């Protein structure tokens, strides 16, 4: 004798019988690519931005990791984007040193490079590290030698006329003919850089550098990449959060992805990208997860030199997060300077406002 159907089972069965076949097929995730503002505004003289390129490739069947790395090569090669790749603002000695990291959800692998010289697209080398070695991070001369072995072109100097002229202006402002004690010298160099931001010579987001790009396709596969020239006029060899797993980027293929731009040292103390992904795992929306990370950074910022006259962080920090369901958000300590981020969906590329934790600016 057939078993009786419950009312819930009856209604479900009736809906399926009366529906068209397309409605009973499980729907995939709505694909989306997110990035900081560089991912939408810089096109290297071409017709598409980083997020548009990544979205186009991804939705045509290219692996998500290949798509996002192909996308960020657009701003990496753009000489007008002075915070990334070719023409990125150099270190204190006038040498362009670059960092990058990529992470692939489906394969649960990652690769990174730091303080690499002579390579316009460190994201490509980071992916080569992921795919061709048993390591995550290669640095300095070793990273450059590896890049050469992988067939990546090595150039003698990645400065452009613009980046070199800005470095010379910075040198003039810190008066390099006088060597101050280490603390005062660091303060003078930092103050000189910020004065150039205030004078409109360097965009705030370019001073800190960095672009982050993460994506999820219609299968729920996730990947991300972060690439940067680092803090402008940094101490040679300085490496920030960008190439460090859990800081500048973190991806869990079962959960989501998060990446960062802004003051890398503040992010490193809390490994905030990892923290955000763990909050996504707990069920938080990407916006709420990002806000929790910003609150942690604020609470951990206690040094007087890092606080403004309101007792709040005297720097900006931004996070870009998405989950496996295709939900996403961009948050910032302050919605000033770089106040928007890029999103690309079936509706095309558009700028969205960053959600700030604190009012005003740093």
Tens digit of pLDDT for each residue in 269-325?
Answer: 999 999 999 999 999 999 999 999 999 999 999 999 899 999 999 999 999 999 999
Give the confidence band of 3 by pLDDT, cuts at 50, 70, 90.
Answer: very low
The active-site residue, picked from 13, 121, 160, 210, is 210
Q: Is the dihedral of CA 351, 281, 30, 224 positive or negative?
A: positive
Q: What is the CA radius of gyration of the chain?
A: 22
Task: Evaluate whether residue 4 is within a structural domain.
Answer: no
111 within some domain: yes
Q: What is the pLDDT of residue 1?
A: 41
- β-partners of residue 303 are none
Is residue 227 part of the annotated active site? The answer reads: no
Give yes or no for residue 240 having a pLDDT over 50. Answer: yes
Q: How many domains does the chain have?
A: 1
pLDDT at 345: 98
Spatial CA neighbour of 303 closest among 315, 319, 317: 315
- Domain ranges, residue 324: 32-358
Q: What is the pLDDT of residues 85-132, one digit of tens each?
A: 999 999 999 999 999 999 999 999 999 999 999 999 999 999 999 999
Q: Is residue 50 part of a domain?
A: yes
Please report whether residue 23 resides in a domain: no
Task: Give φ, ψ of 147 to 5 degrees.
Answer: -60, -45
Residue 91 inside a domain? The answer is yes
Please indicate, yes or no, if residue 170 is contained in any of the structural domains: yes
Rounded mean pLDDT of the chain?
88
Domain CATH for 240: 3.60.20.30
Specify if 17 maps to a domain.
no
Query: What is the DSSP pairing of strand 328-334 with strand 355-358?
Result: parallel
Q: Would you list the DSSP string of 87-151?
A: T----TTS---EEEEEEETTTTEEEEEEEE-S-S-HHHHHHHHHHH-S-SEEEHHHHHHHHHHTT
In a domain, 61, yes or no: yes
Instruction: Report pTM.
Output: 0.85
């Amino acid at each position: 004798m057939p078993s009786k159907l419950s009312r819930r089972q009856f209604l479900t069965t009736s809906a399926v019988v009366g529906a068209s076949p397309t409605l009973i097929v499980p729907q995939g995730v709505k694909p989306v690519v997110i990035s900081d503002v560089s991912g939408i505004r810089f096109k290297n003289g071409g017709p598409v931005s980083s997020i548009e390129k990544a979205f186009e490739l991804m939705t045509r069947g290219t692996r998500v990791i290949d798509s996002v790395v192909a996308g960020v090569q657009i701003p990496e090669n753009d000489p007008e984007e002075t915070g990334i790749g070719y023409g990125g603002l150099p270190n204190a000695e006038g040498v362009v040193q670059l960092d990058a990291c990529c992470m692939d959800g489906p394969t649960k692998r990652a690769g990174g490079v730091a303080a690499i010289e002579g390579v316009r697209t460190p994201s490509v080398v980071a992916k080569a590290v992921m795919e061709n070695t048993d390591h995550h991070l290669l640095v300095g001369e070793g990273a450059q030698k590896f890049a050469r072995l992988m067939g990546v072109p090595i150039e003698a100097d990645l400065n452009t006329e613009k980046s070199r002229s800005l470095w010379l202006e910075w040198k003039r402002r810190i008066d390099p003919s006088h060597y101050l004690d280490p603390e005062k010298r660091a303060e003078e160099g930092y103050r000189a850089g910020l004065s150039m931001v205030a004078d409109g010579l360097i965009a705030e987001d370019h001073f800190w550098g960095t672009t982050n790009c993460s994506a999820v396709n219609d299968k729920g596969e996730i990947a991300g990449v972060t690439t940067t020239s680092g803090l402008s006029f940094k101490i040679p060899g300085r490496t920030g959060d960008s190439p460090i797993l859990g800081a500048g980027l973190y991806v869990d293929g079962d959960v989501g992805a998060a990446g960062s731009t802004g003051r890398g040292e503040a992010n490193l103390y809390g490994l905030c990208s990892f923290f955000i992904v763990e909050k996504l795992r707990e069920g938080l929306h990407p916006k709420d997860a990002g806000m929790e990370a910003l609150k942690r950074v604020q609470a951990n910022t206690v040094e007087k030199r890092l606080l403004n006259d309101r007792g709040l962080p005297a720097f900006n920090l931004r996070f870009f997060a998405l989950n496996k369901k295709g939900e996403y958000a961009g948050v910032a300590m302050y919605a000033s300077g770089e106040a928007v981020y890029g999103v690309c969906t079936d509706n095309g590329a558009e700028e969205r406002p960053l959600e700030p934790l604190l009012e005003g600016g740093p």
